[in-house]
Amino acid sequence: MGLIYAGSNNPDEVAWVRRQFIRPGAPGWAKTANELGLYDMSGNIYEWCWDWYSKDYYAISPADDPQGPPPPESNKPWELNRVRRGGSWREAAEASRLTTRSFDYMTYEGDNDFRLARNA
């Protein structure tokens, strides 16, 4: 089995999480880098992905390079959900695991910071 967090199985080594009571967008390089030399890839801020969210998508997705489900047919903002990866400084360590996948609607203006990622 691989690592649970980006760079470690111990979130205290690599992730800014709720129990540390830090401010948003904690300073980089204060934790250990992952195997690629990248910092703060678990916790600290969400990665908000371009993929549309579908609860059951991975049960039917291709094994290699899943592209996400098609856009929803709804035009209601609260039904237009994008995928979020990882967790934020306000979340528990469990929410910052590499496998964590959640969502928010596109126009969400919450109080968590997040990291945008798009590969087009």
Distance CA 78, CA 30 (A): 36
Q: Is 43 inside any structural domain?
A: yes
Query: Model pTM greater than 0.85?
Result: no
CA angle centred on 52, ends 44 and 81, rounded to 5°: 70
> In CATH, what number is assigned to the domain containing residue 35?
3.90.1580.10
Q: CB within 8 A of 90, min separation 6: which ones?
A: 18, 111, 112
| Contact status, residue 82 vs residue 104, Cβ threshold 8 Å | yes
Asked, for residue 3, whether it belongs to a domain, the answer is no
pLDDT at residue 4, as a whole number: 92
**Residue 63 structural domain:** 11-116
In a domain, 5, yes or no: no
pLDDT in tens, 62-117: 989 888 888 888 888 878 898 888 877 778 888 888 888 888 887 777 655 555 55
Q: What is residue 115's predicted lDDT score, i.e. its pLDDT?
A: 57
Number of domains in the chain: 1
Q: Is residue 36 part of a domain?
A: yes
From 32, 21, 106, select the one nearest 71 (Cα to Cα): 106
